[in-house]
């Protein structure tokens, strides 16, 4: 099957729908609360889902949609790679992924209560993995592959005046 604008965005719509549905499934069924970086990734996936849906129905120009999704896939790849690097301990996180610091506690009992009731949403500790591959690793792989495919589609549109 040759890679065309239409084929790419149908494929992108299916893959993105599965990824977004899976993220909500893991959050609500398995009670895996996403960290802040996971939420950023989810918002970018939702943006890509919307633009893929728009592209399938050709509401906006092919060039505009292709460039927007290319930028979105690139941004998502960078965020997912950053998240994976934090999980592997290669870099330290510059964002605060924790909620309450406990500094507002006025007694040892209050501090103990805050510590006991705080969920661990630190980005450095993955809550789920399959054979050592975390969800942020999978997000990076999927977004980078879709980024490369989107580059091929843009190349056809911009340089070969490709019409599908």
What are the tens digits of pLDDT across the range 93-149? Answer: 776 655 545 456 667 677 666 655 555 556 656 666 678 777 888 888 999 999 999
Closest CA to 123 of 113, 114, 135, 111: 135
In this structure, of 17-26, 55-64, 107-116, the range with the lowest mean pLDDT score is 107-116
Name the fold adopted by 5-159: Bromodomain-like (1.20.1550)
Angle of helix 5-28 versus helix 135-159 axis, rounded to 10:
160
**Cβ–Cβ < 8 Å for 3, 153:** yes
Q: Say if residue 89 is exposed, middle or buried (CB neighbours under 10 Å; 0-12, 13-18, 19+).
A: exposed
Q: Say if residue 111 is exposed, middle or buried (CB neighbours under 10 Å; 0-12, 13-18, 19+).
A: middle
Select the more confidently predicted residue: 52 or 117: 52
């Amino acid at each position: 099957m040759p890679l065309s604008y239409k084929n790419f965005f149908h494929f992108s719509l299916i893959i993105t729908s599965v990824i977004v549905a899976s993220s909500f499934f893991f959050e609500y069924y398995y009670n895996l609360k996403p960290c802040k970086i996971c939420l950023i990734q989810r918002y970018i996936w939702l943006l890509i889902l919307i633009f893929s849906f728009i592209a399938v129905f050709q509401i906006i120009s092919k060039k505009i949609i292709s460039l927007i999704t290319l930028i979105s896939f690139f941004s998502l790849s960078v965020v997912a790679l950053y998240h994976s690097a934090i999980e592997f301990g290669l870099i330290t996180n510059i964002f605060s992924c924790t909620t309450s610091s406990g500094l507002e506690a006025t007694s040892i009992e209050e501090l103990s209560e805050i510590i006991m009731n705080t969920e661990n949403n630190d980005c450095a500790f993955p809550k789920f993995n399959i054979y050592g591959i975390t969800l942020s690793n999978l997000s990076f792989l999927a977004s980078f592959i879709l980024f490369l495919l989107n580059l091929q589609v843009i190349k056809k549109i911009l340089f070969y005046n490709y019409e599908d």
